[in-house]
Amino acid sequence: MTNPVGSPDAAGASIIGAIAAPHSLATEAGLNALRDGGTAIDAAIAAAAVLTVVYPHNVALGGDLIALVRGPDGKVQCINSSGWAAGTTDAAVLRSTFGRSLPARDVHTVTVPGGVRGWEALRSHGSRLSWSDTLAAAEDAAASGVELAPSVARHLLHPENADLHGTSDFDRVFRPDGQSRRAGDLLRQPELAASFSLLRAGGPDEFYQGALATRSITYLQSRGSQLTADDFADFQPETTAPLQTTFGDLTVLTSPPNTHGFILLRVLRAVEELGLADPLGADFGTVMRLFHRANRIRDDSLADPRQVGVDVGALVHDDLTSFAPVGQARDASLIPHGDTVGVSAMDSDGYAVSLIQSVFYAFGSGLIDPQTGILYHNRGTSFSLDEHAPNVIAPRKRPAHTLMPAMTLHDGSVRHILSTMGGQGQPQILAQILLHATRGATAQAAVAAPRSVVGPQYDGATDDLVSYESDSPAAAREALIGSGLFVLEVPPRTEALGQANVVFSEPDGRMTAASDPRSDGAAAVAHFPRALGTNS
């Protein structure tokens, strides 16, 4: 593991790969993709596909994807595969039905799922394995069955998901005898396995134009959706340059709007501009006030720039030092929060991926097609129904989005690959990990360190309340208490404060990887004989 990152060994006969994911079977699938001759891109897709089977409370075939991908030429691109609303969407009709906001779970919150097209777009940046081979482990996991992960079992029992109990499609998969499955129970999903078989044979078009598309549209329309065959067939991801800023000697990159990646960059810039010497200790309260202010800007201004003018420069740079008032908490139901997976992967040929994929709330919409086994997200609940809001729902519009991959470069070389679950708290989690890393923390120490998040991250939290883990350092706790924000102590390493996965390229050329102890994940760095991959 001491070979320089980005270079094979002297004989050119081996490759080093690193991957971190929130479930050990996903990490195993990624390692196998590298072993079989794939790049970090293949590894990330293989892991993400397995996660749609083994971590269905956080991700599914019926969800979205946003990723950063870097190739051997050093160029970093953002793939935004967040889906759009139906072409016939009418906000006025939805207001007359639902009032001031869309419900948390309803068929009208299902936008076109972008994840599968996102995998396709990623592959174009350097896949070496066939599409079919990359998805084989996911099909096998669905067909053979896997032990239910503890995180899934906890979410099945969580009160916020009680509304799903008693719904036939959900119960069939997760509560077949009227009782929620428990950790360790065998979860077999034969219908989902059959969908993966079709997808492997037919390619991505199968999901958007083939039999799977036809079935998805039929199922969703039977529940009242306005999505049509054209909405699925016309959908394509957007590939753009990432947002970036400097922080110390690093270049920090993340996803542009319609995502809230700007928050990470904005606060890192403010840390430097304000000269916060101890941002994880005595100055931590100020950091949380900066995030509190950035969250308010997100909620007021973020929207799909393809349809609404979004001043990205202002989002990142304007008025960095001001704070928002506390004690005027907004309705937390209108602020994004949810469930997601993050996968980080890298190889010594120069490929690197930060991939984020999600169903938004736990188990998304809760709608699971009994014929295909596909669970659909509820990402559309992030839309506003206020006709004056930038983020108001509209035809073919993408909602304001919480998914945000991240990566840092040093002198053009990858230094950190960062990905996390955590809904509205993702920028805060990534910032804290990066701050730990730039102060000398190892990858594992950085993801395991106590963290805090301001906003509706924990049960009962409002947008001006900070949830902090009880093992947080005394200086950080005191800073939070003195910040003027409300505070809530939560248990250490609570899943509600995110599940992060990272790969670091160390200054001496080694790769290190770490998976969050708040998840069921694993991380690995491995050295493989160079195999001849295919790409078809």
Catalytic residue numbers, as ranges: 340
Q: Where are the alpha helices (DSSP H) in 3-158?
A: 24-35, 40-54, 91-98, 115-123, 131-144, 150-157
Whether the Cβ atoms of residue 221 and residue 138 lie closer than 8 Å to each other: no
Residue type, 27: T
The CA–CA distances, whole Å, from 283 to 163, 274, 290, 349 equal: 41, 10, 11, 40
Whether the Cβ atoms of residue 190 and residue 373 lie closer than 8 Å to each other: yes
Count of all residues that appear for the chain in the document: 536
Neighbours of 241 (CB within 10 A): 11
Please enumerate in sequence order all residues whose Cβ is within 8 A of that of 148, keeping only pairs 6 or more positions apart, or say none: 181, 182, 183, 184, 185, 186, 187
The two beta strands, 238-240 and 76-81, are antiparallel
Is residue 284 within a helix (H) or strand (E), and if so which, with residue range?
helix 284-301
**Distance of alpha carbon 293 from alpha carbon 299, whole angstroms:** 10
Residues 259, 263, 268, 273, Cα dihedral to 10°: 130
